[in-house]
């Protein structure tokens, strides 16, 4: 990922509703969510969510696909992974202390996910 694309992605995520949409789509997995369902979850109008979805799609963080009469949106896991890699490799210059903190956070997240699946 180049700096221009990273800036576009960060700009798209620098808004509360758009960040919440991306997080919801990540949780939804490959099935994604229909635009109406996203609006309902976000508590915003269809027009409002449409504006945010267009911004996120323009940045490459999400994609859309028509399924029957609905438009289903999905997180672009590849772009999100590239954004994280950009931060870790380029911005952080691969500092081991930062990597250790990220790994520790990932371990805590994975442990919480295992509890949620089992519990």
Nearest to 59 by CA among 109, 119, 11, 91: 11
The sign one gets for the Cα dihedral 36, 38, 40, 43 is: negative
| pLDDT tens readout for residues 51-100 | 999 999 999 999 999 999 999 999 999 999 999 888 877 566 666 777 67
Do the beta carbons of residue 42 and residue 20 sit within 8 Å?
Answer: yes
- 65/85 same-domain check: no
| pLDDT tens readout for residues 44-64 | 999 999 999 999 999 999 999
Does this model's pTM top 0.85? My answer is no
Write the CB contacts of 23 (distance below 8 Å, at least 6 apart in sequence): none
d(CA 102, CA 50): 33
Residue 110 belongs to what domain range? 79-118
- 8/26 same-domain check: yes
- What is the number of structural domains in the chain? 2
CATH number at residue 12: 1.10.10.10
């Amino acid at each position: 990922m180049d700096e221009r694309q990273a800036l576009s992605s960060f700009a798209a995520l620098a808004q509360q509703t758009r960040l919440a949409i991306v997080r919801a789509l990540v949780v939804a997995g490959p099935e994604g969510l229909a635009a109406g369902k996203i609006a309902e979850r976000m508590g915003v109008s269809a027009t409002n969510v449409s504006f945010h979805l267009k911004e996120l799609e323009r940045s490459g963080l999400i994609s859309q696909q028509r399924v029957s009469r609905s438009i289903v949106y999905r997180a672009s896991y590849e772009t999100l992974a590239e954004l994280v890699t950009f931060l870790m490799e380029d911005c952080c210059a691969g500092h081991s202390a930062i990597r250790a903190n990220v790994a520790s956070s990932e371990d805590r997240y994975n442990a919480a996910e295992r509890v949620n699946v089992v519990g």
